[in-house]
Amino acid sequence: MKLSIQTPKKALKSLLKQKPLRSEIDIFKTNLIRLLGKVNEIEREENQKNHIRDFLRDTFYKDTNEINTKDSKDLVIHLGKTNKDKVGVIIEAKRPSNKSEMLSADKPNTKALQELVLYYLRERIEEKNIDIKYCIATNIYEWYIIETSYFETLFARNKPFIKEYEQWRDKQKVTSDTKLFYESIAKPFIDKIQDEIPCIYFDIRDYETVLRNDKKDDDKELIALFKILSPQYLLKTVTPNDSNSLNEKFYKELLHIIGLEEAKEGNKNIIRQKLDDKSNASFIEMAIKKLRTKGIHKVNDKKSFGETTDEQNFNIALELCITWINRILFLKLLEGQLLNYHKGNKDYCFLNIKNIHDFDELFTLFHSVLAVNVKDREPNIQQKYKLVPYLNSSLFEISELEDVTISIDNLDNSETLLFNSSSILKDTKSKNTGLNTLEYLFKFLDAYDFASEGAEDVQEENKTIINASVLGKVFEKINGYKDGSIYTPAFITMYMCKQSIRLSVVEKFNETKGWNVKEFAELYNKIEDKKEANQIINSIKICDPAVGSGHFLVSSLNELISIKSELNVLIDENGKTLRDYEIEIINDELIITDENNNIVAYNPQNKESNRVQKTLFHEKQTIIENCLFGVDINPNSVKICRLRLWIELLKNAYYKAETNYIELETL
């Protein structure tokens, strides 16, 4: 048997984008330093495992999972708070000086591995435990972590081996001591295994410099180590985050600010106007009030918004509010991108009450800043918004409905909106029960983290992350307010896209080149002209007949990028391949890592980073313009789908220097 050694980063791709909190990393560092300080190379094994237990318990598992010995096992992590709960992880601890019994990449078949095999079989066969996740061998410094699916396949399901084990267990051998099992049953069997088993390996001593310095920027080097020992990984306590999962607290308070609520009607959830809104300060209440004053007589198709005047006012106001909120949420993601690009420089925070003090100024931001090329802006606007880029996007053009009814600058700046009952801003010690509506919206958005899409890093503030995919589900639910919305889960869209699009790519190459390729993997060795290959892939057309928020098309976009990367035809404007990067889809997101398994984050000052970012932007732009199509019975769905695809482009927006200013090219 051989071990295929993986680094923690390589093994953790599904969790790379989940940022640990600063407080969590600080506790981890403190406890790890304490563990290293207790190492005594001649100390008894009993003490070694106690130190490991204390470290894991105090860092990750206190009050959630029992960690202790179990019969002859050095340590186990239970799946619950007591030793009555099933075992989830088995740990074999050795003294650092006990090199002969500790396994290694070169010599895996040692007593440590043989013991893990025995402990696994006892749990699996005698306890009938099918919930064991990992087996670990460690001498405190070195850690070897093996997923138990390999133990299951190689040992628990091997009938001759299990027969030997059961005969030994039942005292049908010459002796029933463990030495016989290790040396005469497990060792020769393991020697015959030809399989190569993936194994996560790390040595804590490699991290000592980072552990013992005070440079917070260096702490990101500890993130993979932190995550690999956490219950999220070792106990698989959560399915690696479905990035499309809805944050209920964010969603409900956003509805409150708009003036909506979710209610049950029959078997489905619908969105309706909030019944207990007494302040008339929500977006929709202010819009309806202004529509009643100004009138909707210029709207040509009023009947499409309802039969009665009240229905028409509500539905027109709702469509306007969705347009405005979509713009604001898009800008919040843009602001997050700018903060990422400039290492958290607060000068790039523009969406706040200090800069945008009323709805008139918000109108200016929409239509005189973002919709106007930097060099063409009015001098005073150029100065105030010098760090806000031009977005070449119809999102910030005045819509047809705004043109014949009202725009956002018609809303009342003096209204106060009461806090939602479970508001993230609500302070029980404060007498303040509400805020000016616009200030409420900005402070509400600031209470969440829109800037964590990108590099692996420590989250300095304890804020819930809101990314583009979460917003996609918010858009879909609000847009489906009449009929209830159906949101296809990420694992389904991923599977559908992978199966259907790869088959289409094979068919398209066979049709164009006259090949007879059967499997997608065969294409790699047949492609000679990369530009031609790109043209063939870009000729594929994908249409979603019920596009909703565009989730399926976003998954399709990611799949096409991944396909190009796998076929080694993802090239920049000069025809140079992005060859030193791994691009794959994990949890419905496009993950790009370098040769060291680090997530690739955009650095505007780095030439290579600009090349990668620009290539991905233009690839996405080409695919969106040529390959992706969607229709829907609800015209607003198409608008939201378009917004979702704009957001995907925004992820790879890049700076370009022209004359005396910097422009962020996006759409």
Residues 6+ apart with CB under 8 A from 42: 95, 97
Say what the pLDDT of residue 371 is: 87
Say what the pLDDT of residue 241 is: 45
Say what the pLDDT of residue 487 is: 64
pLDDT in tens, 599-631: 888 888 889 999 999 999 999 999 999 999 999
CA–CA dist 40, 36 (Å, integer) = 9
Asked if residue 659 has pLDDT above 50, the reply is no
Structure tokens at 144: 């070897």
Length of the chain: 667
Asked if residue 90 has pLDDT above 90, the reply is yes
Strand segments, DSSP code E, in 571-650 are: 582-586, 589-593, 628-630
Asked if residue 489 has pLDDT above 80, the reply is no
Asked if residue 460 has pLDDT above 90, the reply is no
- What percentage of the chain carries pLDDT values higher than 70? 93
CA–CA dist 425, 442 (Å, integer) = 11
Q: Lowest mean pLDDT: which of 37-41, 481-485, 648-652?
A: 481-485
Asked if residue 656 has pLDDT above 80, the reply is no
Q: Please, what is the Cα angle at 380 between 374 and 381, to 5 degrees?
A: 40
Strand segments, DSSP code E, in 10-103 are: 67-70, 73-78, 87-93
CA–CA dist 599, 204 (Å, integer) = 22
Per DSSP, 520 falls in state: G
Say what the pLDDT of residue 238 is: 64
Asked if residue 257 has pLDDT above 60, the reply is yes
Say what the pLDDT of residue 661 is: 45
pLDDT in tens, 267-308: 777 778 888 765 679 999 999 999 999 989 999 889 889 999
202 falls in which pLDDT band (50, 70, 90)?
very high
SS3 content of the chain, % helix, strand, coil (to 5): 50, 15, 40
Asked if residue 190 has pLDDT above 60, the reply is yes
Say what the pLDDT of residue 472 is: 72
Task: Work out the mean pLDDT of the chain and round it to a whole number.
Answer: 89
Asked if residue 243 has pLDDT above 50, the reply is no
- What percentage of the chain carries pLDDT values higher than 90? 63
Asked if residue 253 has pLDDT above 80, the reply is yes
Asked if residue 127 has pLDDT above 60, the reply is yes
Helices then strands, each counted (H, E), the chain = 24, 17
Q: How many CB atoms lie under 10 A from the CB of residue 514?
A: 7
What average pLDDT score do residues 428-434 get?
A: 64
Asked if residue 193 has pLDDT above 90, the reply is yes
CA–CA dist 234, 230 (Å, integer) = 6
What average pLDDT score do residues 118-141 get?
A: 97
| Contact between residue 385 and residue 367 where contact means Cβ atoms under 8 Å apart | no
Say what the pLDDT of residue 362 is: 97
Instruction: Report CA-CA distances (Å) from 480 to 12, 319, 555.
Output: 36, 12, 20
Asked if residue 11 has pLDDT above 60, the reply is yes
Say what the pLDDT of residue 465 is: 79
Say what the pLDDT of residue 50 is: 93
240 falls in which pLDDT band (50, 70, 90)?
very low
What average pLDDT score do residues 113-122 get?
A: 97
Asked if residue 135 has pLDDT above 60, the reply is yes
DSSP per residue, 183-249: IIIIHHHHHH---EEEEEEEEGGGGHHHHTS--GGGGGGGHHHHHHTSHHHHS--S-S--TT---HH
Closest CA to 553 of 544, 565, 562: 544
Please name every residue paired with 666 in a beta bridge, in sequence order, or none if there are none: none
What average pLDDT score do residues 185-203 get?
A: 96
**Mode of pairing for the β-strands spanning 142-147 and 134-138:** antiparallel
Q: Is 266 exposed, middle or buried (0-12, 13-18, 19+ CB in 10 A)?
A: exposed
CA–CA dist 108, 92 (Å, integer) = 14
pLDDT in tens, 366-402: 999 988 888 899 999 989 998 898 887 788 899 999 9
The whole model's pTM is what? 0.83
Say what the pLDDT of residue 263 is: 82
What average pLDDT score do residues 443-464 get?
A: 80
CA–CA dist 128, 349 (Å, integer) = 56
Say what the pLDDT of residue 242 is: 46
Say what the pLDDT of residue 392 is: 74
Asked if residue 662 has pLDDT above 90, the reply is no
Say what the pLDDT of residue 248 is: 86
What average pLDDT score do residues 467-471 get?
A: 77
| Contact between residue 618 and residue 610 where contact means Cβ atoms under 8 Å apart | no
| Contact between residue 612 and residue 581 where contact means Cβ atoms under 8 Å apart | yes
Q: Is 315 exposed, middle or buried (0-12, 13-18, 19+ CB in 10 A)?
A: middle
14 falls in which pLDDT band (50, 70, 90)?
low
Asked if residue 667 has pLDDT above 80, the reply is no
Say what the pLDDT of residue 365 is: 95
What average pLDDT score do residues 53-81 get?
A: 96
Say what the pLDDT of residue 329 is: 92
